[in-house]
Structure 1
Amino acid sequence: MDTKTVRIGIAGINGRVGRLLREEVAAAGAILAGGSTRNGVMDPAGGDTIAPPCPVFTSMADLAQVCDVVIDFTNVATVRAHAQALTQAGTAWVLGTTGLGDEDQAAVEQAARRIAVVQAANFSPGVTLMTRLARQMAAALPGGEYDAEILEMHHRQKVDAPSGTALAIGNAVADGRGIVLKDHIETARDGHTGPRADDAIGFAVLRGGQVVGEHSLIFTSANEQLSLTHRSFNRRIYATGAVRAAQWSRTREAGLYSMDNVLGLE
């Protein structure tokens, strides 16, 4: 199938990323088949160039019926309901919502048995490559010699911490070292914490202003330090990557995919 004929839906079409997604769907030559909002009305984009008007729904179930794939950057509270609606409709899902709990993730994985799901904490090609490099670096730099720390900063409105991207980087470090992140994560250091554990993966979180997203992975030994940093200048990079993932997902069998798959890295 010609990916330009893919019918793309946007959950949360009035949101900050949703507005960018409208533009990126049009730029890719795909079809903006519909969107969802709380009130069923699509707000104007403040003078920005957007795709032509499209149907707007209040429920994911209705949106899924008119789309081949839905891009979803909404809220963690909607994940399980969206998983069910998209599975029932047989509609592919590009999921960028972060902060998922175990039950939410289980619902995503259950949906992936029936539909194609592209799930990523960050749809930027640069972050995708950073995560792969994090895994390789961690495998080459053992925890007993190199301490791994992750520093992230986002805008003041962000509600989850550490960010989904920071956790994805942390999981990559853990994978590279053959350990499980939840058993070695350190997110709260205050008071007399004692010495740092050899296999600890530390996180530091900053919030302020309108910073789109900054992530640094730092490996430090007794003799050297190696840092890997990614900065997002504009949320558009997430929208561009998500539309690319949506076009890619349309021809895929049911399964749980990542941006590594979309970029041809796996």
Structure 2
Amino acid sequence: MWKILKDMTRIMKDDYDIDIVESHHKHKKDAPSGTAVTCAEVILGEKGLDYDKNVVFGRSGRENERGRDQLGVLAVRGGGVIGEHTVIYAGDDDKLEIKHTSFSRHTFAAGALKAAKFAAGRKAGLYGMNEVLGL
């Protein structure tokens, strides 16, 4: 997903507003999720912007005009949702969404198994899923 976000942001960063909406079950304690934070870091890194200065968590109040370099992040918690992340690229005339929805935790287990197989026999170090997937 990170490579897709980097590529999309590079192409659309000047003409589209970007927001992240993520949803998880009502028992999840962190908000935004680690995945949403990483999405924001990837997008802002591609735009050359700082996370702490440019992320807006939700929007409230009567007057809340969007700043040019703002990245909105909204966390929704409810029910038994395993996980859903949507990155919205909104332009004046159209909108593109990249969405990932987990229906079960099986995908997380499969990814962990793939990462363990990748790490077996490799030199100790810090690896990410990009290396595991050969991206």
Coarse TM-score class (shorter-chain normalised):
over 0.9
What residue identity is the alignment partner of 2:19? E
- Provide, for residues 154-206 of structure 1, a one-character-per-residue CA deviation record: whole Å limited to 9, x for no partner: 00110000111111111111122122222211114221453211111111111
1:196 aligns with 2:66: yes
* Count of equivalent residues: 135
Query: What is the alpha-carbon distance in structure 1 between the residues aligned to residue 19 and residue 34 of structure 2?
Result: 15
1:131 aligns with 2:18: no
Query: What is the alpha-carbon distance in structure 1 between the residues aligned to residue 27 and residue 67 of structure 2?
Result: 32
Query: What is the alpha-carbon distance in structure 2 between the residues aligned to residue 141 and residue 193 of structure 1?
Result: 26
Flag as ranges the 4+ runs of structure 1 deviating above 6 A: none
2:107 maps to which residue? 237
- State, as a whole percentage, how many aligned pairs show the same letter: 37
Query: What is the alpha-carbon distance in structure 1 between the residues aligned to residue 124 and residue 53 of structure 2?
Result: 31
Query: What is the alpha-carbon distance in structure 1 between the residues aligned to residue 39 and residue 77 of structure 2?
Result: 18
Query: What is the alpha-carbon distance in structure 2 between the residues aligned to residue 253 and residue 193 of structure 1?
Result: 54
SS in 2 for 1:256: coil
1:167 maps to which residue? 37
Shift of residue 236 of structure 1?
0.9
TM-score (norm 1): 0.49
For structure 2, which runs of at least 5 residues remain unmatched after alignment? none
Query: What is the alpha-carbon distance in structure 2 between the residues aligned to residue 250 and residue 193 of structure 1?
Result: 54
Asked which structure has the greater RCO (Cα within 8 Å, sep 6+), the reply is 2
Matches within 5 A, 1:42-81: none
Matches within 5 A, 1:1-266: 130-143=1-14, 145-265=15-135
Query: What is the alpha-carbon distance in structure 2 between the residues aligned to residue 175 and residue 244 of structure 1?
Result: 27
Query: What is the alpha-carbon distance in structure 2 between the residues aligned to residue 217 and residue 131 of structure 1?
Result: 11
